[in-house]
Amino acid sequence: MAKVMVFTGTADGLFVFESDAKRAAWKRRGHYLAGLSVNTFAWDRKTKTAYAATSSEGVFASKTLGRSWTPLNDGLPIRKVWTVAINPKDADELWVGTHFSYLFHSSDRGRTWTLHPGYLAAPGAEHRYGDWAFGTIGNSLHGIHIDTGNPKRMVVVSSTNHGAVRTEDGGQTWELARKGVFESCPTAGQSDLTRPVSDADHTKAVEEHLANVHACTHRIGISPADSRVLYRQQHCGVYRSDDFGASWQDVSAGLPDRHGFPLAVHPRDPNTAYVVPAYQGKGCKKHNSCIMGALEVYRTRTGGRRWERLADGLPKKVHCVVLRHGMDTDALTPAGVYFATTSGEVYGTNSEGDSWARLGKGLPRVQGVMTAVI
């Protein structure tokens, strides 16, 4: 029987939750990498290798399902690493994104790294480098998304207002991946999700529009079933692309709040995706974005045309955030979905979101969740 693992990266190390294919009972093991802030993971199912990105000590690899870890930092001068990605066609090739929005590449499974020169000239470079020190992350490259069918196609996301850039030649040349996002991202004060953006907004210059709205990309998810299909959680809405990010459509109507961080896509159905809206202006003084009240997940099974609220088994009163990498799915049938909070609780479903259970509690702030099935 298959074993399901949920790797959970926190502000103080990582923990692993394990279950069988039924996913009805879970055991927690860890604490691993104690004392390190663990941001995100990547999993190579062919070699059964896990990679972890940390905030101070770079990249680590584990061939023991997370029980022991080896640092991989030769040639990596910036050790504040936010994300790590694996070429789906070539396990030797790794990519990482670091603080100050730099992109590094390895062709030997992380034993050595080089700065990727093509990304230095990508559009928006004038806004990426340096550190604007806003919020809890600051200027970082936090998303690397590789086409499973054609690994030369990638979308890379940094925490700047230009959104994201895409390449079709392995990173030699790049273009902005925001057509349809900046044009429809509502200006400040526009809260009616069903009202189309006015013609005036469409004709504004980008610079003028961005003076009124924060268009930072928080999370992108590629459909494992059809890699042309991408979903995107912005600061200002949820969007879908059917051409690997060349153009986007606003699919936020039906959500209680456009703003959010995490996103996950169903492993077999490109029309099914999950988000956790963030609720602002609810008297939350500790965070600039937080959920105060009921903890809710929203699911679309129609490619974003309609959204449904999923709350069975979730708490009615919380004060937390679900961060951008804090959600993932497994590949089983029915699909499992997992997410975790900054208050240290981990939730999961074995019914594609119809009902939820708490897998664990009492963890440090959770920053990244990744599933692996062996």
How do residues 234-262 score in pLDDT, each as one tens digit? 988 999 999 999 999 999 999 998 889 99
In this predicted structure, what is the pLDDT of residue 160? 72
Give the residue extent of every domain in the chain.
32-338
**161 pLDDT above the threshold of 70:** no
Express as a percent the part of the chain with pLDDT over 90.
76
**Model confidence pTM above 0.95:** no
**130 pLDDT above the threshold of 70:** no
Exposure b/e, 196-206, CB count within 10 A at least 16 = b: eeeeebeebee
In this predicted structure, what is the pLDDT of residue 203? 46
- Tokens encoding 355: 């009902």
Q: 171-180, 220-229, 305-314, 327-336 — which is least confidently predicted? A: 171-180
**Torsion angle in degrees (nearest 10) through CA of 5, 6, 10, 12:** -20
How do residues 265-298 score in pLDDT, each as one tens digit? 999 999 999 999 987 555 565 556 788 889 999 9
**132 pLDDT above the threshold of 60:** no
Residue with token string 């959204």? 307
**204 pLDDT above the threshold of 90:** no
- Number of Cβ atoms within 10 Å of the Cβ of 276: 24
How do residues 49-82 score in pLDDT, each as one tens digit? 999 999 999 999 999 999 999 999 999 999 999 9
Question: Dihedral of CA 193/308/39/76: which sign?
Answer: negative
Q: What is the CATH number of domain 32-338?
A: 2.130.10.10
Report how far residue 298's alpha carbon sits from residue 110's, in angstroms, rounded to the nearest whole number. Answer: 36
- Tokens encoding 163: 């959104």
